[in-house]
Amino acid sequence: MKRIVVAGAMALSFIMPVQAQQKTNPEEIKQKMQWFADAKLGIFIHWGIYAVKGIDESWSFHNKKISHADYMAQMKGFTASKYDPQAWAALVKESGARYAVITTKHHDGVALWDTKFNKLSTARGTPAKRDVLTPFFDALRKENIKAGAYFSLLDWTYPDYPGFLKDSTRYKISEQPKRWAKFQQFYQGQMAEVMTRFNPDLWWFDGDWEHSADEWQATKVRKMLTDHNPNTIINGRLTGYGDYDTPEQNFPVQRPQFHWWELCMTINNNWGYQPQDTNWKTPYEVITIFADAISNGGNMLLDIGPKEDGTIPEPQVHVLKELGKWNKKHDKAIFGTVGGIPQGHFYGPTTLSKDSTTLYLFLPGNVSGKVMVKGLDNKIEDITVVGNGAKLSHKIVGKISWSPVPGLVYITVPANVQDEYMTVLELKLDKPVKLYRGKGGLNG
Ligand code: H79
């Protein structure tokens, strides 16, 4: 019996690598996290030489689907010839996102700025011949959008980095500590370049899993970044020495461990541009996933993959624009709210105003007309369809006069007030939300 339990636990940890524990104190970082908590939506951008052949970012050579030399030869095809950073920033704005995160360097080691450390940059090694990040950071800031830097800690191309292909490494740190020290200086030097050049509002680290916090010098790195900018936000992939949790692709069913969290997700099946991948998530799917994230107190970081020339494929633009339309219409139910009431009271996502006197119910677009809320121990003063203005009435069902248990709230939602994606109802309550969480016994 015991053996079965152990095997089960191992299988589970294979599917879900153990998430790092938060090693920063939520109380100490609360203030700087406020804009992030209010922002709800970010746009992730994976842009790099992998868009030339349209293959997996870095993983394609790591997993030996292509030789490292052929992978790096893509540098000759990265032109950025139609790159319009203002248009990118305008699209991010139109989606309703309050922040964007762009790859400054992926696991392949190719920098998108003009690093002084080597020739592996869009500035020195590609026909684009320039730092493509500066104009985008500038454009974001002009649009008042927070600007984040994705930065891969590991660098499979750097000759003094241990890891290389999935089944081969260059050396062991224990055997060649000086060689590792050389890499530490290199990666921290590049990080300092990004820090001083762009002063990111947010650092999105990736690739921490190949080494320990000690090996990365995680506390030193965190100190360097926060000394430079005390308000910069760091994701949890600095072996736990960050500020928020980053479930990737896998949708949480319960709230993740860190106080703040963000679901990062591709718009099709891949992070970078891949022409054969047309498995676009629909606006409805993206919107319902987004609603689910904010209902659980999180953010969504939705990824797009531009082509090597800097154009953003039309289906990606379409999803962002539809999402933006819906965000604009439902602005007050989303931005500046907090996560909603616990599961079980309402069969769908919810959010609350910060003073919790307004409850927002997110309904799928095709509800047949009646929705129900359970265990709401408040008087409902008013119900409005967000972005539509229609007022709705409600009926209390099953309230026993002498029992403290609240009745069920039934709300009829006519078809003509419903949104094509998700209809949102605003319930104004008499006081901060109060929930009955009991088992329904006679004494409550
Ligand atoms: O940039 C995108 C991806 O390229 C990168 N992160 C997003 C944002 C990424 N892809 N996969 N991962 C990060 C996590 C990979 C985890 C694994 Fe493993 C590495 C699975 C197998 C090797 C760690 C080591 C977990 C299991 C073994």
Q: What are the pLDDT digits (tens) for 356-408? A: 999 999 998 766 678 999 999 999 999 999 999 999 999 999 999 999 999 99
Q: Is the CB of 18 under 6 A from ligand 1?
A: no
Mean pLDDT confidence for 57-61:
98
238 has pLDDT over 90: yes
Q: Is the CB of 209 under 6 A from ligand 1?
A: yes
Q: Where in the chain is the domain with CATH 3.20.20.80?
A: 3-329
CA 211 – ligand 1 centroid, Å: 13
Report the pLDDT value the prediction gives residue 328, as an integer from 0 to 100: 98
Of all atoms in ligand 1, which is nearest to the CA of residue 17?
Answer: 25
CA 392 – ligand 1 centroid, Å: 47
pLDDT band at 215 (very low <50, low <70, confident <90, very high): very high
8 has pLDDT over 80: no
For residues 205 and 214, what is the distance between their CA atoms, to the nearest angstrom? 16
CATH number at 3-329: 3.20.20.80
Would you call 377 exposed, middle or buried from its count of C-beta atoms within 10 A (0-12, 13-18, 19+)? middle
Per-residue model confidence as pLDDT tens digits over 291-326: 999 999 999 999 999 999 999 999 999 999 999 999
Of all atoms in ligand 1, which is nearest to the CA of residue 57?
Answer: 4
> Among candidates 42, 56, 43, 44, which has minimal Cα distance to 273?
56
CA 59 – ligand 1 centroid, Å: 9
19 has pLDDT over 60: no
Q: 20's torsion region: left (phi>0), alpha (psi -120 to 50) or beta?
A: beta
Report the pLDDT value the prediction gives residue 6, as an integer from 0 to 100: 33
Per-residue model confidence as pLDDT tens digits over 149-165: 999 999 999 999 999 99
Q: Is the CB of 206 under 6 A from ligand 1?
A: yes
Mutate to test the pocket of ligand 1, among 206, 266, 274, 301 (most ligand atoms within 8 A of CB): 206
253 has pLDDT over 90: no
Q: Is the CB of 251 under 6 A from ligand 1?
A: no
CA 207 – ligand 1 centroid, Å: 7
Report the pLDDT value the prediction gives residue 309, as an integer from 0 to 100: 98
Q: Indicate which residue's Cα is closest to atom 4 of ligand 1.
A: 57
Of all atoms in ligand 1, which is nearest to the CA of residue 103?
Answer: 1
Question: First vs last Cα of the chain: how many Å apart?
Answer: 40
CA 169 – ligand 1 centroid, Å: 17
**Which residue(s) pair with 352 in the sheet?**
338, 359
Report the pLDDT value the prediction gives residue 10, as an integer from 0 to 100: 36
CATH class of 339-429: mainly beta
Q: Indicate which residue's Cα is closest to atom 25 of ligand 1.
A: 17
Q: Is the CB of 57 under 6 A from ligand 1?
A: yes
Orientation of helix 314-329 relative to helix 85-95, angle to 10°: 40
Report the pLDDT value the prediction gives residue 366, as an integer from 0 to 100: 66
Of all atoms in ligand 1, which is nearest to the CA of residue 271?
Answer: 2
Q: Where in the chain is the domain with CATH 2.60.40.1180?
A: 339-429
Mean pLDDT confidence for 14-22:
54
223 has pLDDT over 50: yes
Mutate to test the pocket of ligand 1, among 239, 268, 271 (most ligand atoms within 8 A of CB): 271
pLDDT band at 335 (very low <50, low <70, confident <90, very high): very high
pTM of the model: 0.94
Report the pLDDT value the prediction gives residue 20, as an integer from 0 to 100: 64
Look over the chain and give the mean of its residue pLDDT values, rounded to a whole number. 93
Q: Is the CB of 131 under 6 A from ligand 1?
A: no
Per-residue model confidence as pLDDT tens digits over 78-128: 999 999 999 999 999 999 999 999 999 999 999 999 999 999 999 999 999
CA 188 – ligand 1 centroid, Å: 21
